[in-house]
Amino acid sequence: MPNREQTVRFPSTGAHPVELEGVLHLPGSDRYPAAIVCHPHPLYGGTMDNGVVVAIAQALAARGIAALRFNFRGVGRSRGRFNGGAGETDDARGALAFLHAQGGVDPRRLYVVGYSFGAWVGLRCADEESIAGVVAVAPPLLVLPHEGLLRDFIGPRCFIVADRDQFCSIERLRAFVATLPPPVEVKVVHGADHFLWGHEEEVGELVAGFIT
């Protein structure tokens, strides 16, 4: 069976849930791992159609891993409005709950993947017991607070950073990773900056390879 995509709608979690839109990429198999893919900052043009996000979702599906990319609240046809990270974390938790409820998904193999702001959101919701692993692509550690993130998470973690990233220097990332218990991997994309233009497929393959 070929990979297929379908448009979906689902609620966020939290005290004031909103309805979100997403695209579910399904592999051509009957039982599969699954991952949510969180997009960059909504106030700076980030959407689920970002090239890096789409490349990650497609690479995952090609490796037999379902991928749910979705719009945070206030983006596209998702209801609500930007909430500074707290509401967006509820959105990611809602996406995880939606994936968990899908019939073909292996509930023991749910992953969180995020790019830029989406990576930061993904790290914030990594306390979910259902999460098997986390991938953070270009987490903006130079501009967003990250103290304490992932310190209690014992599953595998992967950080992907460009060697010219303006918002996540390799030095800052390695200092952050040094505070975390193993296992942790750091992968460097050479010749790219934070926006990873021209390196979308490379990033997608790094993410899919790690989860596989």
Distances 22 to 47, 100, 108 between C-alpha atoms, Å: 10, 15, 22
Number of folded domains that form the chain: 1
Query: Per-residue pLDDT tens for 140-161?
Result: 999 999 988 998 898 999 999 9
Both structure tokens of 146: 């990250």
Query: Per-residue pLDDT tens for 172-181?
Result: 999 999 999 8
Q: What is the CATH number of the domain that holds 130?
A: 3.40.50.1820
What φ, ψ does residue 138 adopt, rounded to 5°?
Answer: 50, 50
Query: Per-residue pLDDT tens for 35-88?
Result: 999 999 999 999 999 999 999 999 999 999 999 999 999 999 999 999 999 999
Q: How many CB atoms neighbour CB 183 within 10 A?
A: 11
pLDDT at 1 over 70: no
State which residues form the domain around 32: 4-211
Query: Per-residue pLDDT tens for 92-105?
Result: 999 999 999 999 99
Which band of pLDDT confidence, cut at 50, 70 and 90, is reported for residue 129? confident
Amino acid 2: pLDDT: 59
Single-letter amino acid code for the residue at 43: L
Q: Which residues lie closer than 8 Å to 195 by C-beta, 6 or more apart?
A: none
- Sign (positive/negative) of CA torsion 5, 47, 173, 123? negative
Amino acid 29: pLDDT: 79
HEC assignment per residue over the chain = CCCEEEEEEEECCCCCCCEEEEEEEECCCCCEEEEEEECCCHHHCCCCCCHHHHHHHHHHHHCCCEEEEECCCCCCCCCCCCCCCHHHHHHHHHHHHHHHCCCCEEEEEEEEEEECHHHHHHHHCCCCCCEEEEEEECCCCCCCCCCCCCCCCCCCEEEEEECCCCCCCHHHHHHHHCCCCCCEEEEEECCCCCCCCCCHHHHHHHHHHHHC
pLDDT at 128 over 80: no
